[in-house]
Amino acid sequence: MSHLLNQYASNRHLIMPAIGEGMALRLLNRNQLVPIYLSATLATQTLLGETNQGLLTLSEYAKFLRDMRLTTNLPLIADLQSGFGNPLNTYYAAQELERSGGDVLLLNDQHYPAHSEEQPATTNLADLLGKLRAARDATSEGTEIWVKLEGLWEYGPTDILNRMQALTKAGADAIIIDHWQADQLTTIAAQKRTIPLLATWTPSCQMDAQIDAWLDTGLLIREAQRAQQEALAAFMGGIAYAQK
């Protein structure tokens, strides 16, 4: 059970923003009092200029997390990705992200290396449970482990419920559903559960009332990129005008 989410229980539409660079965190630090998700996908864009989170190594991400930790006291959701390898790797990765300042470690069920795509390959449940248990054993009581399930397209709502049940039993503090469609999410959210259920969020998504909280996927950075494209167009236009 997530003690962190309990603190925000009065916020019926809790959306936790995703960031991948320091100035966005600085902005949120002044204006928000909610947990911040340090997305590995977004950090990969900032640090490597790439879009595939699988290129970002644990040490590179952990350094980014430590730098961000120094700038805020807000709860930070650290991206454990798919554990950076097998359950043994997950054990040491979880230890590293906890001591680098993560309050929540977000483990996904992708096959290692994790990818930033709509239909990622997922790992089997035994491997995922091993990683969850490893992360649990590696961290102290106050650190939460949330599991993001990304294979709805592959294993469907029935199997996802089996996964949720096993993950709950193995000690997950919350479950997040990613890459969902509204009818699938409604089916999943209607089931009885003992830990919080979250889903990924975009501005256009239908927010099901049964979902306990929402995890942003990068609105701020997408808006910033749009603004940059407009600025670039103006810049190129200026150059063309000057050349005339």
Partner 1 sequence: MRKNELMRETFKKAVFGDQIIRMVVAPDALAAKIAEENGADAVFAAGYATSASTLAMPDRGIADFGMMLERCREIINAVNIPVFADADTGYGDLENVKRTVRSYEMIGAAGIFLEDQKWPKRCGHMAGKSVEAPEVLEAKIATAVATRQHDDFLIMSRTDARAVYGLDDAIARSHRYQDAGADMVFIEAPRNREELVSIHEAFPTTPLMANMIEGGATPLTQTADLQRLGFRIVVYPTAMTYAQTYANEALLQSLQETGTTQKFEDRMVTFSRFNHFVGLDEVNAREQCYTPEKMKQYL
Binding footprint of partner 1 on the chain (CB under 8 A): 66, 69-70, 86-88, 91, 99, 101, 124-127, 129-131, 133-134, 137, 140, 166-167, 169-170
Within 13 A of 200's CA, how many CA atoms are on the CB side?
18
> Which residue, 117 or 159, is less far from partner 1 as judged by CB?
159
Give the Cα separation of 55 and 62 in Å (integer): 14
* 3-class DSSP assignment, residue 232: helix
Of residues 142, 133, 74, 70, the one with CA closest to residue 107: 133
> Which residue, 6 or 165, is less far from partner 1 as judged by CB?
165
Residue 44 CB, shortest distance to partner 1, in Å, is 21
> Which residue, 133 or 193, is less far from partner 1 as judged by CB?
133
Using the Cα atoms of residue 20, residue 144, residue 203 and residue 112 in order, give the sign of their dihedral: positive
Give the Cα separation of 145 and 51 in Å (integer): 25
> Which residue, 49 or 142, is less far from partner 1 as judged by CB?
142
Residue 172 CB, shortest distance to partner 1, in Å, is 10
Q: How many helices (H) and strands (E) does the chain have?
A: 9, 9
> Which residue, 16 or 65, is less far from partner 1 as judged by CB?
65
Residue 69 CB, shortest distance to partner 1, in Å, is 6
> Which residue, 128 or 215, is less far from partner 1 as judged by CB?
128
Contacts of 129 (CB under 8 A, 6+ apart): 166, 167, 170
Residue 63 CB, shortest distance to partner 1, in Å, is 8
Residue 10 CB, shortest distance to partner 1, in Å, is 29
Q: For residue 54, what is the DSSP state?
A: G
Residue 76 CB, shortest distance to partner 1, in Å, is 12
CA–chain centroid gap for 78, Å, is 7
* 3-class DSSP assignment, residue 188: helix
